[in-house]
Amino acid sequence: MGSSSASHRSVRVPYPIVLGFALLTACPVIIAAQTPTDPEQMLKEAISLQQAGKLDQAIAGYRLLLEKYPNVPEVRSDLGAALSAEGRYQEAIEQYQTALKLKPMPQVQLNLGLAYYKTSQLQEAVAAFQKAQEEMPGDEQPVRLQADCYLRLGENKKVIEILTPLEGEHNDDLALAYMLGTALVRDNEAAKGQVLIDKILRNGDSAEARLLLGTTKLMMNDFAGALGDLERRIRVLRCCVSGYRRPRRGKRRVRTRLEARPQQF
């Protein structure tokens, strides 16, 4: 499956709660201070910088705050989210792990799994998503992310086991249809897989769906049908490439959207 569009969400709680226990051990002068070094103000500024996309400054702000109050899990989680947004996933993993040692938080557990996923540490990602699923009963996102990892790992039976119960509730979910259809085709259940892949094609032709459908027909010894789908895939790819045009002065660039694997988390 293609790259997940799931993002790392920061864990937000009221400032006094976040820093309350840390302030109990702080110097009374610091508690009373209303200067830029006040911890609540430092946290607010770091969060504002992160929300404004000024990630380097936000990261520096979080680190400065953690130098004084290292055992505040929510701040470590926010630092991890900022690091992830910069693509510094290994550093984010370290912050998420530290935050979870201090306090179990389902969203942070999910963020940890996403950071592992982004660095192709798929077995570790599965373990994190399973833990998040335990802590987030009824939330399908950890389940779908596990299925994505298993699909990448080639563990097709596990994908089928995880997603089949969801299929009936999400008949129009193309992301689910793609993952489950792919796993079924790979697991020699081509007829079932073709039904799901056809569902994707009804919502618009794509090179990847044509490849899956051609592979399915090849497994069913429908050689003519397989050839037709593979030739159609080539035409779709050519159309995508030729659809890019040079922009003219005063006009918007005209593009043909490249077909992408339907992933939505």
Residue type, 145: L
Local mean pLDDT, 10-residue blocks, the chain (265 residues): 57 50 38 56 93 95 94 96 96 97 96 97 98 94 96 95 92 86 90 83 74 69 79 79 48 33 33
Q: Is the pTM of this model over 0.85?
A: no
pLDDT at 10: 66
Cα 58 → chain centroid: 22
Residues 6+ apart with CB under 8 A from 143: 129, 133, 162, 166
Helices 141-153 + 174-186 axis angle, to 10: 30
The pair of three-digit structure tokens given for residue 55, joined into one six-digit string: 């990630």
The answer to whether the Cα torsion of 177, 211, 151, 164 is positive or negative is: positive
Q: What residue spans define the domains of the chain? A: 154-265
With both helix axes pointing from N to C terminus, report the angle between 174-186 and 207-219 in degrees, rounded to the nearest 10. 30
DSSP at 179: H
Say what angle helices 39-51 and 55-68 make with each other, to 10 degrees. 160
C-alpha span between 89 and 96 (Å, rounded): 10
The pair of three-digit structure tokens given for residue 176, joined into one six-digit string: 């689910």
Residue 26 CA: distances (Å) to CA of 18, 21, 43: 14, 9, 16
Q: May I ask the CATH architecture of the domain 154-265?
A: Alpha Horseshoe (1.25)
